[in-house]
Structure 1
Amino acid sequence: MRRIRHGQATVEFALGAMVFFMLVFGVIEVGRAVFIYGELRNAAREGARYAAAHGCVGSPSVTPSNYTKFLTPYVRDLVQGIDPNALSVTATWSDSLGSGTVPNQAICPNMPNRPGVEVTVTTSYTFQPAIGFVFDVSIPMSASSTMRIHY
């Protein structure tokens, strides 16, 4: 006698499809996270380049007191695929060489953005997965880049 099993295939499909779709959406979310981290790295690098190129003789001159006016909007305009208002941009200047070790030091002797000073730009963003309703997770991401002001 033959047994009739009408629902067996449906149950097997439901169990297998659940695992399959979790894997597919997991791969998509990891891809989004890697993309956003790449955007953060690029924005930090371009921000450091902008700050280094706009030292004390640059126009506009980017300093620790005005970087939020010039540098932050520049960096936020660079990012794609994320909310620019949720992007945090910080910049720090440090004189790692000491005074008098750079030939162009006399150009702006007492400026915080004189030649020889290193500027570090850090970008931060909180990644929210698109399938966050399943796992209420937020992942803080951050990237930084350091460049030396040469002129």
Structure 2
Amino acid sequence: MIKSEKGQATVELALSLVILMFILFGIIDFGRIFHTYLTLEHAGREAARIASLGGTDVEVEERAKASAPSLNDSNVSVMISPTSQSRSRGTYVTVNMTYPVSISVPLLQNVLPNPFVLHSKTVMRVE
């Protein structure tokens, strides 16, 4: 004998909606991380360009942070090698930048380290 199937669609919706929401928020988190990565790469190129043109370390760090307005300045880490006194024409300057991104999806927090630290390395020749 078949019983009533009145609540079947509601149960199926409840089960599938949870999975769809995790997928949707995972896509949104991935977009946030990718945007932050692109911003960090751009800021690293801008900073390395200033360093290759003879800027001081303070100017390089200021340019890196100014080129990434969507990032929190206090969390952006900028490392410049070699220092401005050691740079000479024809050598290479390296700008390393790191930035932590917090993950908001609970399942991704178990898979990826939280905060997820992004790294950017840019090398340019000193002119």
The two structures have a TM-score, normalised by structure 2, of 0.85
Alpha-carbon deviation of 1:39?
Answer: 0.9
CA distance in 2 between partners of 1:120 and 1:16 (Å): 48
| Structure whose CA Rg is larger | 1
In structure 2, which of residues 81, 91, 101 is the aligned counterpart of residue 92 of structure 1?
A: 81
The question of 1:41 aligning with 2:41 is answered yes
Q: What does residue range 39-118 of structure 1 map to in structure 2 within 5 Å?
A: 39-53=39-53, 55=54, 61-62=55-56, 67=57, 69-93=58-82, 111-118=85-92
Residue correspondences, number:
123
Cα separation, partners in 2 of 1:125 and 1:80, compared to 1, 3 Å: same
CA contact (8 A) 1:119 1:146 kept: yes
3-state SS, counterpart of residue 135 of structure 1? helix
RMSD: 2.2
Alpha-carbon deviation of 1:2?
Answer: 6.2
Percent identity of the aligned residues?
A: 26
CA distance in 1 between partners of 2:99 and 2:42 (Å): 13
CA distance in 2 between partners of 1:132 and 1:89 (Å): 30
Counterpart in the other structure of 1:107 = none
Q: Which runs of 4+ in 1 moved over 6 A?
A: none
Counterpart in the other structure of 1:100 = none
CA contact (8 A) 1:48 1:119 kept: yes
CA distance in 2 between partners of 1:144 and 1:134 (Å): 26
Cα separation, partners in 2 of 1:132 and 1:117, compared to 1, 3 Å: farther
Counterpart in the other structure of 2:23 = 23
For structure 2, list consecutive stretches of 5 or more residues without a partner in the other structure: none
Which structure has more helix as a fraction of its residues? Answer: 2
In structure 1, which of residues 115, 130, 138 is the aligned counterpart of residue 104 of structure 2?
A: 130
The two structures have a TM-score, normalised by structure 1, of 0.72
CA distance in 1 between partners of 2:10 and 2:48 (Å): 56
